[in-house]
Amino acid sequence: MLVFIDMLKDWGMYDPEKHNKTFNTYEFGDNLVQFAGMDESEKIKSTEWNYVWMEEANEFTYEDYIVLKTRLSGPISPGESNHIYLTLNPIDEFGWIPQRACKETDITIIKSTFQDNPFLSKEYIKTLTDLIYQDENFYRVYALGEWGHLEGLIYKNYKVIPEMPEMPEAKWAYGLDFGLVNPSALVKVYLWDDKFYLEERLYSPGLTTLDIIERLSHETKGDIFGDPSAKMLLEEIRQAGYNAYEGIKGVKESIDLCQRQTLYIPSSSTHIIKEIQSYQWKKDPTDTNRYLSEPVKFNDHAMDAMRYAIYGITERYGFATARPRPGVSIRTLHFDKQGGRRRAQMQMRPPL
């Protein structure tokens, strides 16, 4: 929904009176556009459409696809027909889309790559073409538009939930990854009942530090753990009145911590879901059967923001959801007012 609305705003075509935020609909000319997730199954089953668009279609199941096809029953004029559109990056050659949907007889497959998009910047095009030096599978998928094979996935310990639960006593913090050509990502991480919940608060390219500060002004103030390589940007955020700290530098260390948790993601956090589904280890260029302890640096903005926050919360409050054994020492960080320097001390945790 946000992409559709943002495009209308960018083109000067957005009319707030046509946007019903309560029912998630938008009136465009004689058309009614309705936004819905598959968690709204009753709404979907009781509605008829002329057109259905499944954005990031590989996030749906084959059963979802069949249900949506049965709702293509809106009235049409003579000579017209109803259509369902699936858009996606072809990340998994063994998924239901290539194995089942693409084998149907009444479909049209349209393949496009970055070469078909005249609006991409030179920097982003270079990011895509340079994937050939990082991961052959990612290059095949994102640069060539060919079906890839999901292997070496970093996270399998996550669950997509319909919505965020009520968490009145949760500990929480933000993780922030900066981008200009690439998206900047702000992820709000909650620690509640020994579980981590991830909520996407910002995911947008082309943002300056001032843009990010303006977005932060609409958020509840809290600790922000950001990219440790962006010290000057974090300092600008601190000077604007926010508690901004450097996130952990150790990528493998923080990934290890995140892997030991169950991560809960609401279905509305679409970019987190998209990234976590294809976040992979690099392959050893000298041995294709071996993976390196280093992730592929592509589509990882929310993943970086997430691990900054999870590690920050764990150190800030002196415990992790993967509870240590009785008597095992844990590290607690103490922060100065500027957030620049931190000192660590070891504490003995009493038996649980």
Report pLDDT digits (tens) over 6-35. 889 888 999 999 999 888 899 988 888 988
Shortest CA distance to 215 belongs to which of 237, 246, 248, 182? 237
Q: Mean pLDDT lowest for which of 28-37, 242-251, 293-302, 330-339?
A: 330-339
The pLDDT value given to residue 38: 60
The pLDDT value given to residue 151: 87
The pLDDT value given to residue 3: 74
| Residue 255: Cβ within 10 Å count | 21
Give yes or no for a contact between 163 and 268, defined as CB atoms under 8 angstroms apart: yes
pLDDT band at 318 (very low <50, low <70, confident <90, very high): low
Residue 221, pLDDT above cutoff 60:
yes
* Rounded Cα gap, residues 246 and 244, in angstroms: 7
The pLDDT value given to residue 42: 62
pLDDT digits (tens, 9 = 90+) for 335-345: 444 444 343 33
> Between β-strands 51-55 and 83-87, what pairing exists: parallel, antiparallel or unpaired?
parallel
Residue 183, pLDDT above cutoff 70:
yes
Residues 6+ apart with CB under 8 A from 127: 181, 182, 298
Q: State the virtual CA torsion across 38, 41, 43, 46 in degrees, nearest 10.
A: 120
The larger pLDDT score, comparing residue 21 to residue 275, is at 275
Residue 351, pLDDT above cutoff 60:
no
The pLDDT value given to residue 10: 86
* Rounded Cα gap, residues 119 and 7, in angstroms: 13
Average pLDDT over residues 265-288: 91
Average pLDDT over residues 258-267: 93
The pLDDT value given to residue 39: 65
Residue 282, pLDDT above cutoff 60:
yes
Shortest CA distance to 259 belongs to which of 157, 190, 161? 157
Give the CATH fold of the 158-348 domain.
Nucleotidyltransferase; domain 5 (3.30.420)
The larger pLDDT score, comparing residue 341 to residue 223, is at 223
pLDDT digits (tens, 9 = 90+) for 69-84: 998 998 888 989 999 9
The pLDDT value given to residue 335: 44
- Per domain, the residue ranges of the chain are 2-143, 158-348
Residues 6+ apart with CB under 8 A from 68: 44, 52, 54, 84
Average pLDDT over residues 146-162: 92
Average pLDDT over residues 146-152: 90
What is the pTM (predicted TM-score) of this model?
0.74
Average pLDDT over residues 157-167: 94
| Residue 296: Cβ within 10 Å count | 20
Average pLDDT over residues 271-300: 91
The pLDDT value given to residue 339: 44
The pLDDT value given to residue 285: 84
**Which span out of 29-43, 54-68, 225-239 was modeled with the highest average pLDDT?**
225-239
Q: Following DSSP, what letter does each residue of 115-176 receive, concatenated?
A: GG-TT--HHHHHHHHGGGGT-HHHIIIIIT-------SBS---EEEESSPPP-TT-EEEEEE
Helix runs in the chain, H state only: 2-10, 41-45, 62-70, 96-99, 122-129, 136-138, 209-216, 231-239, 251-259, 270-278, 301-317
Average pLDDT over residues 253-282: 93
Residue 288, pLDDT above cutoff 90:
no
The CATH number of 2-143, from 3.30.465.10, 3.40.50.300, 3.30.450.40, 3.40.50.10490, is 3.40.50.300
Residue 150, pLDDT above cutoff 90:
no
Average pLDDT over residues 252-262: 94
Residue 322, pLDDT above cutoff 70:
no
Quote the percentage of the chain above a pLDDT of 90. 63
- pLDDT, the chain, mean: 86
Quote the tokens at residue 307: 């691990």
Going by the DSSP 8-state scheme, the letter that residue 280 receives in this structure is: B
The pLDDT value given to residue 45: 67
